[in-house]
Amino acid sequence: MDARLNVTFITLGGHVEVHRYRYLYFLIMLTAYILIIFFNASIVCLIVINKNLHEPMYTFIAALLINSVLFSTNIYPKLLVDFLSEKQIISYSACLLQIFTFYSLSCSEFLLLAAMAVDRYVSICKPLQYPIIMTKTAVSILLLLAWVVPAGHVAVPVILNINNKLCTYTLKGIFCNNAAYNLYCVTSRFLSLYGVVVLFNVGIFPMLFIVFTYTKILVIAYQSRREVRKKAAQTCLPHLLVLINYAVLLTYDVVIIKLESSFPEVARVVMTLQIVIYNPIFNPLIYGLKMKEISNHLKRLLCQSKYN
């Protein structure tokens, strides 16, 4: 507690050998952040510039990549500052804001993937009704819900914990996440149950919906002609890869917090870094390489740059 400023500060105690390897950590994370911005922005700009990519599927992909950039920007700047600082601290209010942004954007990823599943189902299984169902208004509503619903869910525990009394001021992590609940003198049973509800509403249920939808798509595609099977494979595979990646990373986050006391410190840091590095970098690579229309535009763009 800073008595002079009346501001509560939290020490981020999860940094390993930061004083010895600070410049190496800084260089690695700065490179990762630059790559995340470059890869994601490149695909988004490609979708915006090319009118034949102004379709619901590509709009959802652009939204997903923008979500990755926002997610990374919530983590990376503070990490980079911490690597070069003598003390790795964060104000309690900023910590709560980071928690809110981290989990609301994480859950938005699942809902955006669920919106993509709806789009692919209508496109492949009900192609004649696609223009009627997937209108600009419908796409806008799905995008709005994908960001507003998780934010509303996550805001409740954050707001209720603003004035909660802290008994310790050291967080075993390199950024603020649910491990912050270990700082409180008294933990609310209501908030613990509410957290389970949030996990199901904006995490597990959307994931089950996506799996169910793509299973139905694949069954229908298998029974259809070859062109339909090919279309299903080309458009559904990237979404499934992203879903699997993110589900694994979400499991990492739960495991890190639940096994905090017994988990090796170095392994905990490595797993935590995978959450903020792996998906934001590989999402645009997956869509850039696996989505035929996007990869074709990228190839043409590279060829033009080569001969200019």
- Tens-place pLDDT, residues 37-91: 999 998 999 899 888 888 998 999 999 999 999 999 999 999 999 999 888 999 9
As a whole number, mean pLDDT of residues 271-296 equals 78
Q: Which token pair is 261?
A: 């006391």
Phi-psi region of 6 (alpha: psi -120 to 50; beta: other; left: phi over 0): left
283 closest CA partner among 31, 73, 30, 37: 37
* Alpha-carbon span 170 to 271, nearest angstrom: 20
Q: How confident is the model at residue 3 (pLDDT cuts 50, 70, 90)?
A: very low
With a CB cutoff of 8 Å and minimum separation 6, the contacts of 257 are 177, 178, 179
Please check the confidence at residue 259 and state whether its pLDDT lies above 70: no
As a whole number, mean pLDDT of residues 136-140 equals 95
Grouping H, G, I as helix, E, B as strand and the rest as coil, residue 166 is: strand
Q: Which token pair is 260?
A: 């905090």
**pLDDT of amino acid 303:** 66
Can you say how many angstroms the Cα of residue 90 is from the centroid of all Cα atoms in its chain? 22
Q: Which residue has the higher pLDDT, 285 or 99?
A: 99
* Alpha-carbon span 147 to 106, nearest angstrom: 10
Query: For the chain, how many structural domains are there in total?
Result: 1
Does residue 4 lie in a domain region? no
Listed range (73-87, 181-195, 230-244) with the worst mean pLDDT: 230-244
CATH number at residue 238: 1.20.1070.10
Instruction: Write down how long the chain is.
Output: 308
With a CB cutoff of 8 Å and minimum separation 6, the contacts of 240 are 214
* Alpha-carbon span 211 to 219, nearest angstrom: 12
As a whole number, mean pLDDT of residues 88-115 equals 93
Q: Which residue has the higher pLDDT, 5 or 292?
A: 292
Residues 50 and 297: beta-carbon distance below 8 Å: yes
Alpha helices for the chain (secondary structure H): 18-49, 56-83, 92-125, 130-133, 136-160, 189-199, 205-223, 226-258, 265-290, 292-307
Does residue 238 lie in a domain region? yes
- Of all residues in the chain, what percent carry a pLDDT higher than 90? 35
* Alpha-carbon span 246 to 251, nearest angstrom: 9
Print the domain residue range for 246. Answer: 9-307
As a whole number, mean pLDDT of residues 24-32 equals 92
**pLDDT of amino acid 221:** 76
Does residue 3 lie in a domain region? no
As a whole number, mean pLDDT of residues 189-203 equals 87
Q: How much is the mean pLDDT over the chain?
A: 84
As a whole number, mean pLDDT of residues 134-161 equals 94
* Alpha-carbon span 22 to 84, nearest angstrom: 6
Residues 119 and 62: beta-carbon distance below 8 Å: no
Does residue 143 lie in a domain region? yes
With a CB cutoff of 8 Å and minimum separation 6, the contacts of 17 are none
Q: Which residue has the higher pLDDT, 135 or 262?
A: 135
Does residue 216 lie in a domain region? yes
Does residue 124 lie in a domain region? yes
Report the range out of 100-104, 287-291, 297-301 with the highest average pLDDT. 100-104
- Residue 307's Cβ-count burial label (10 Å; 0-12, 13-18, 19+) is exposed
Q: How confident is the model at residue 1 (pLDDT cuts 50, 70, 90)?
A: very low
Beta-ladder partners of 11: 89, 170
Does residue 20 lie in a domain region? yes
